[in-house]
């Protein structure tokens, strides 16, 4: 199942020995610096994964930096899995638990970092010898480079510091926040306890870690607020009314705001609201990379510019993870580090309606094409009888019958052997002919309005289900102009003759 579509785009996965060999996806934002952040392999994170193909050069950059920054790169095992098969990742994970039994299968998808290390460009040294870029870099930095190499994020966390704040690895694991923290993201709301001059203080907030100076990992805490403090200065800047209204409405300022984030010159920044803590988050516009291609579409230059400025943009014809097209208003949220989607005022069923209309139009065109085709082949689709209810059809009647035209046949006999005449036309839906008293091509409306003549009224009423005392036990239909059963009429005639004989 997993060996299909080998030429399509693939996702780069990694298994870390320090994390029990669990499969994670490499974050594309860190791919060119080596492994700094890994994400859980879930569909909701798909847009953040490193995508590779047979023509991709990102793997060369990735493994080149991996060898430079990690003294034990073999602790990581890498695999490339087709993006279309990402939903069956649990099957592959089960196979990794028994590598010896499935080694031939696993080998199809395993990536060997050494294959890319051998491809590193060589550099010329002063004495004419050649060394790889990796070797040259190592010799230049020496022991300083070795001491600055990072290790896994879990081993770099000061768990004792967290414990003093009332947060442990076990509590993070129980709350489901451990994976997010270890992948470089933020936790959900956790309870934090500390003391200030002997006074215990308890609050809630989100924790995360960031690279600090000298290769240290700094703990960051975003404390919870009951409501956003939009009227207070943010990095010394008061937000204007439009930005505050946008934040309350959408969670995003909707336009760049100049902020002195590092205490220097103000830079254009995007501002979003972290709705978990009600704190504002700001990121310089220059640090945000908006892709040109996204969910099966290519942004226009104007759309790309507006999205980079944090504005809300209508994007049409995107493909969902199930492949169905959809439209949405998109806006980049720096607090979530991904796009927000809004569907207000949009027809969510637009593409379904278009598909339905297209199918109807196709079916209609096929019907029209069949109706315009020569009528002669239609005769081959059903049997054209030479006789119809005992009446032999003329060649002309057979030809018209085969063309689905109405014919008039006299002298046919019903199940009781009574002769009758009728208009006949083949019904393809029923697979047998229909019989009409009146010509259905000319007098359908008139036929519904015609009433029987006086001499036929009793016959029509009785034969259509109406009964009278004289006809209650009649089993056969009355003949034309017949008002009573034959035995009743005979008895009346005999009575009349007796009456005439007694007259003087």
DSSP string, 38-63: EE---GGGGGGBPEE-TT--HHHHHH
Lowest-confidence segment of 158-167, 204-213, 411-420, 465-474 by average pLDDT = 465-474
- The answer to pTM > 0.85 is no
pLDDT above 50 for 358: yes
Radius of gyration over alpha carbons of the chain, in Å?
43
What confidence category does residue 241 fall into, taking pLDDT thresholds of 50, 70 and 90?
Answer: very high
Helical ranges in 177-287 per DSSP H:
178-182, 241-250
Helices (H) then strands (E): counts for the chain: 16, 24
pLDDT above 80 for 425: yes
CA distances to 369, 378, 402 from 374, rounded to whole Å, are 10, 8, 12
In this prediction, residue 33 carries a pLDDT of 45
More confident residue, 316 or 471: 316
In the block, residue with structure tokens 């695999």: 79
pLDDT above 90 for 299: yes
Q: What count of residues does the chain have? A: 504
pLDDT tens figures, 371-417: 665 544 444 457 788 888 889 999 999 999 988 899 999 988 888 88
Contacts (Cβ under 8 Å, ≥6 apart) of 363? none
In this prediction, residue 464 carries a pLDDT of 55
Query: Mean pLDDT score of the chain, rounded to an integer?
Result: 75
Q: Assess contact for 258 and 265: CB atoms under 8 A.
A: no
What confidence category does residue 256 fall into, taking pLDDT thresholds of 50, 70 and 90?
Answer: very high
**Average confidence (pLDDT) over 283-304:** 92
Instruction: Report the b/e string of 409-448 with b at 16+ CB within 10 A.
Output: beebeeeeeeeeebbbbbeeeeeebebbeeeeeeeeeeee
């Amino acid at each position: 199942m997993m060996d299909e579509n080998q030429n399509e785009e693939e996702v780069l996965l990694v298994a870390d020995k320090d994390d029990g060999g669990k499969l994670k996806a490499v974050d594309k934002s860190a791919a060119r610096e080596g492994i700094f952040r890994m994400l859980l392999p879930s569909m909701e994170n798909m847009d953040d994964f490193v995508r590779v193909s047979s023509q991709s050069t990102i793997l060369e950059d990735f493994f080149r930096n991996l060898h430079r920054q990690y003294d034990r790169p073999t602790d990581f095992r890498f695999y490339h899995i087709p993006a279309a098969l990402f939903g069956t990742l649990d099957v592959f994970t089960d196979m990794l638990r028994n590598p010896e039994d499935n080694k031939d299968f696993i080998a199809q998808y395993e990536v060997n970092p050494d294959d890319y290390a051998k491809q590193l460009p060589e550099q010329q040294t002063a004495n004419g010898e050649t060394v790889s870029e990796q070797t040259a870099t190592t010799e230049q930095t020496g022991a300083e480079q070795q001491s600055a190499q990072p290790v896994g994020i879990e081993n770099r966390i000061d768990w004792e510091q967290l414990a003093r704040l009332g947060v442990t690895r076990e509590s993070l694991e129980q709350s489901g926040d451990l994976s997010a923290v270890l992948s470089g993201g933020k936790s959900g709301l956790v309870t934090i306890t500390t003391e200030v001059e002997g006074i215990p203080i308890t609050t809630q907030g989100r924790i995360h870690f960031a690279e600090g100076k000298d290769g240290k990992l700094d703990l960051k805490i975003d404390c919870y607020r009951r409501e956003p403090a939009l009227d207070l200065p943010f990095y010394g800047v008061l937000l204007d009314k439009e930005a505050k209204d946008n934040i309350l409405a959408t969670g995003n300022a909707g336009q760049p705001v100049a902020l002195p984030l590092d205490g220097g010159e103000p830079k254009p920044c995007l501002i979003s609201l972290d709705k978990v803590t009600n704190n504002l988050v700001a990121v310089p516009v220059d640090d945000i990379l908006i892709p040109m291609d996204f969910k099966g579409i290519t942004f226009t230059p104007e759309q790309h510019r507006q999205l980079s400025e944090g504005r809300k943009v209508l994007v049409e014809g995107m493909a969902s993870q199930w492949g169905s097209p959809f439209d949405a208003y998109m806006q980049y949220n720096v607090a979530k580090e991904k796009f927000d989607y809004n569907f207000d005022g949009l027809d969510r069923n637009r593409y379904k309606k278009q598909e339905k209309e297209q199918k109807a139009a196709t079916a209609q065109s096929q019907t029209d094409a069949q109706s315009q085709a020569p009528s002669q082949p239609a005769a081959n689709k059903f049997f054209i009888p030479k006789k119809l209810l005992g009446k032999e059809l003329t060649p002309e009647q057979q030809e018209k019958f085969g063309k689905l035209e109405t014919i008039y046949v006299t002298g046919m006999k019903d199940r009781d052997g009574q002769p009758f005449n009728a208009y006949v036309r083949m019904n393809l839906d029923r697979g047998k002919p229909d019989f009409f008293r009146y010509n259905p091509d000319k007098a359908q409306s008139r036929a519904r309005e015609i009433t029987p003549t006086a001499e036929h009224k009793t016959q029509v009423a009785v034969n259509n289900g109406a009964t009278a005392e004289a006809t209650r036990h009649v089993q056969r239909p009355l003949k034309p102009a017949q008002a009573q059963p034959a035995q009743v009429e005979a008895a009346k005639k005999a009575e009349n003759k007796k009456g005439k004989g007694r007259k003087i």
